[in-house]
Amino acid sequence: MSSGHDSSGTTLMDLITSDPSAAPAAGASSQQPSSGGGGSLGRPAPPPAPAPADRKSKRATLMQIQSDTISAAKAFNPVKALPQRNRKKKPVSYSQLARSIHELAATCDQKKSQRQLVNSVFPKLAVYNSVDPSVAPSLLMLHQQCEDRNVLRYVYYYLARILSDNGSQGLSAAGGIPTPNWDALADIDVAGGVTRADVVPRIVDQLSAESTSDDVEFHARRLAALKALTSSSTSSSEMLEKLSEIVFGILEKVADTKQKRKKGIFTKQGGDKESILRSNLQYASLSALRRLPLDPGNPAFLHRAVQGIEFSDPVAVRHALSIISEIAVRDPYSVAMALG
């Protein structure tokens, strides 16, 4: 029986604690297959462990292969650097937006131009607190030639802003990015600039013609034109007279109180298409009447407001009640007689 020593006198502990690099040389001469019954000492020795230098060399080779593979993949499929993606875009100047409106208005029949106006140009222009009157000719061109509802919605909005701008300081109470006094710039422009006095009459004429049209196909545009038209300044007596004529003319046509409301005032209205169009005009005309300066001495003003109480549109009724309450503060007797 063996006591833990081999034939060369090396113990098992010596083999465990010995240097692995020297093990193959020592083991080659001592570990030979034996035909006798030596038990486990007759088995072949396990393969030697790789040297530390070999392991470092293989690791360096694998890392080099990985680096070459990544470089090749980037060459075939380049990826943008993250700093470029997070880089802030420069803000678009007002002059660039105005130039874009002029250019896109000339090609407003193309879907691409319409998308650019709705998605990019018009929303960015809204952050400025006033609109240059020189943009009005392009807006009027879009108003006449474009049929896209989203474009027209912005067109009416900006025409209303041009009409409502007093043009004195280029500033408004609504805030926004400050803009210069456009009329002052136009006066000193050697090439001849465009002022509000040049474009407001054209805007008023075009919107007035549309707001008085009875064509059912352009009913929605009629309502939008009336709303934009009543945004104009009423400091001019001529403008106020024109607005009053349009509003009272519409009220005279739709103020038929003999038609009874088919459902409750706070419920959905019923009826045919004609009654729905009438209800829309009732709301639009009374909303416009409320924007006009209060005129307690005008019997027609109070008469139309009292008639509005019987309208089928609930918002129109609210406008009528608001007008009547304001007149009642100044002339309660006339209001009481009109309601009686």
Q: Which domain, by its residues, includes 212?
A: 92-233
**278 and 328 both lie in a single domain:** yes
Q: Would 69 be classed as within a structural domain? A: no
Q: Are residues 152 and 193 in the same domain?
A: yes
323 inside domain: yes
Q: Are 158 and 124 in contact (CB under 8 A)?
A: no
**Does a structural domain hold residue 4?**
no
218 in the same domain as 173: yes
Identify the residue whose tokens are 């997070």: 86
CA–CA dist 32, 45 (Å, integer)? 9
Closest C-alpha to 134, from 187, 173, 204: 187
Which two tokens mark 27? 């083991």
For 288, the 3-state DSSP assignment is helix
- Within-domain flag for 127: yes
> Are 224 and 112 within one domain?
yes
212 and 121 in a single domain? The answer is yes
Kindly report the number of other CB atoms within 10 A of residue 312's CB atom.
23
Q: How many structural domains is the chain composed of?
A: 2
Is residue 29 in some structural domain? no
Assess whether 252 and 204 both reside in one domain: no
Q: Work out the pLDDT band at 168, boundaries 50, 70, 90.
A: very low
Task: Indicate the length of the chain as a whole number.
Answer: 340
Per-residue pLDDT tens for 63-104? 888 787 777 777 666 555 545 555 556 667 888 888 899 999
**Domain shared by 204 and 249, yes or no:** no
Q: What is residue 290's predicted lDDT score, i.e. its pLDDT?
A: 87
Range with lowest mean pLDDT among 24-38, 210-224, 230-244: 24-38
- Say yes or no: 129 and 210 in one domain: yes
**pLDDT, tens digit (0-9, with 9 covering 90-100), for 273-307:** 888 888 888 889 898 888 888 887 788 888 888 98
pLDDT value, residue 82: 46
DSSP for 47-111, written as a single string = PPPPPHHHHHHHHHHHHHHHHHHHHHHHHHS----HHHHTPPPPPPPHHHHHHHHHHHHTTTTSH
Residues 131 and 99 in one domain: yes
Residue 263 lies in a domain: no
pLDDT of residue 30: 46
* 21-53 confidence digits (pLDDT tens): 555 544 444 444 444 444 445 566 666 666 666
Shared-domain flag, residues 102 and 202: yes
Q: Report pLDDT for 36.
A: 47
Q: Quick check: 151 pLDDT over 90?
A: yes
Mean predicted confidence (pLDDT) in 98-119: 90
User: Are 124 and 229 part of one and the same domain?
Assistant: yes
- Average pLDDT rounded to a whole number, residues 227-245: 83
Residue 331 lies in a domain: yes
CA distance 30 to 284: 112
Tell whether 252 is covered by a domain: yes
CB 306 within 8 A of CB 339: yes
What single-letter amino acid sits at 114? Q
